[in-house]
Amino acid sequence: MKTLSASATVTINAMAAKKKMNGERVYNFAAGDPVINNHHSIINRAVRQTEKKFFPYPPVEGIPELRSLVAEWVNITCLTQYAKENVLVTCGGKFALFAIVYALLQSNEEVLIPAPYWVSYPDIVKMAGGTPKVVPTYSENGWKITAQDLLQHINKSSKMLIFNNACNPTGVLYTKREISDILAIAKKFGLIVISDEVYSGLVYEEPGFISSGSFPEHRERILIVQSCSKNFGMTGWRVGFVLGPEDVIKRLAVLQSQSTTGVSVISQWGAVGALENAEEVNSYVKESMRKRKDLFVSSYHSLFPTPIEKIKSALYAFVPLSSMGVQNMTDSVAFSELLIASDNIALVPGTAFGVDGYVRFAFSEQEENIHQGLHVLKHAINRLVGETS
Ligand code: PLP
């Protein structure tokens, strides 16, 4: 535990929350949390359930209604072939990841993690006694990992790959060919592939999202992590899923039975409400996030000289400090700390994702905050550049 760090996004969020509590206006570009009212299908289903007035422990694996709906939803949207028995309901996608790594990794085994990575992956691996093996990717190559990159980092201790498509923080989407090549390498070296697909429903570009689960020949080695958090705008309900081979789901359920016991039954019924109207609820969130993305991009381009890379999915822009005119500062932590302390602008430093010299903006806040926040940022940067030149 001593080697672990608090999630960087959570830390910056805490600083932002403290300022807010003191009555200050904060421009929160740090939290990837869709600020949007829950769709009425979610609320209605959960409220209807409260009329029962009696809530015993739910099944550890999740309520059967939800497990079936999840299998159906993923089969339709991701062209997979899962059944209820292939689904475990977890406390968010985060616990899904933790459960998989904790249950399947032996101490000192290595987990390949392409960088930039989601902030929690390395620490989850460390908590399970494993070793994160970071595999860098580069903006010149579209931030994509290739089969060749993997080959250079695989050794006899390699056990798993955490593959995040659609990617936080870069929004990268992989093609069918690219995924197929990566899975072929995983098969050759006997790697388990954790395919983190929690942004599969927030994709803004054609040809759209391709799931690792849509390759039947690799079915046995793939564990998909899914979540209601982003796809249905339900972060606070804490409902996520693992989809994978039935024997692995049973092993993860044992771990869950000795830890969380499962997910709040009211949250599970809220998730049932989302999944009964999955297309409508997802479109409601996605179209709102698309509008915020477009506003973020147009406001950014009206203020800063260098265009940002096209955002294909998720809720983020991963931006080099140099493109904002900050030429003599490459330390993303110092930059982010300065901005929250002096201008109430919350960003996440690139180091949290394994790449310095960048910051991540989330555009999941309400539109007026995005617009005004970018103007405040522009003023702050003008001042900084003035101070340092
Ligand atoms: N995976 C990725 C890539 C994420 O960005 C997040 C949350 O930000 C998660 C997993 C976990 O999400 P949750 O636990 O809310 O389902």
SS (H, E, C) 340-355: HHHHCEECEEHHHHCC
SS3 call for 190: coil
CA distance 61 to 347: 36
152 burial type by CB count under 10 A (0-12 exposed, 13-18 middle, 19+ buried): exposed
SS3 call for 225: strand
Report which ligand 1 atom has the smallest distance to the Cα of 91.
14
User: Cα of 118 to ligand 1 centre, how many Å?
Assistant: 8
Report which ligand 1 atom has the smallest distance to the Cα of 164.
3
CA distance 362 to 316: 4
Q: What pLDDT score does 207 carry?
A: 83
Best mutation site among 198, 200, 260, 360 for ligand 1 pocket (most ligand atoms within 8 Å of CB)? 198
What is the mean pLDDT, run by run of 10 residues, along the chain of 389 residues?
A: 60 82 93 95 96 92 98 97 98 98 95 97 96 96 94 97 98 97 97 98 94 97 98 98 98 97 97 98 98 97 94 97 84 89 94 95 95 96 78
CA distance 318 to 57: 42
Best mutation site among 33, 94, 124 for ligand 1 pocket (most ligand atoms within 8 Å of CB)? 94
Q: What pLDDT score does 174 carry?
A: 97
Pick from 368, 323, 376, 320: nearest CA to 346:
376
Provide residues with CB under 6 Å of ligand 1: 32, 92-94, 118, 164, 168, 196, 198, 227, 229, 235, 240
Pick from 152, 129, 244: nearest CA to 195:
244
User: Cα of 93 to ligand 1 centre, how many Å?
Assistant: 5
Nearest CA to ligand 1 atom 12: 93
Neighbours of 365 (CB within 10 A): 23
Give the ranges where 344-389 is alpha helix by DSSP (H).
Answer: 367-388
Q: What pLDDT score does 13 carry?
A: 75
Q: What pLDDT score does 288 carry?
A: 98
Q: What pLDDT score does 4 carry?
A: 57
Q: HSE on the CB side for 76, CA within 13 Å?
A: 11
Report which ligand 1 atom has the smallest distance to the Cα of 9.
8
What is the DSSP-derived secondary structure letter of residue 236? G
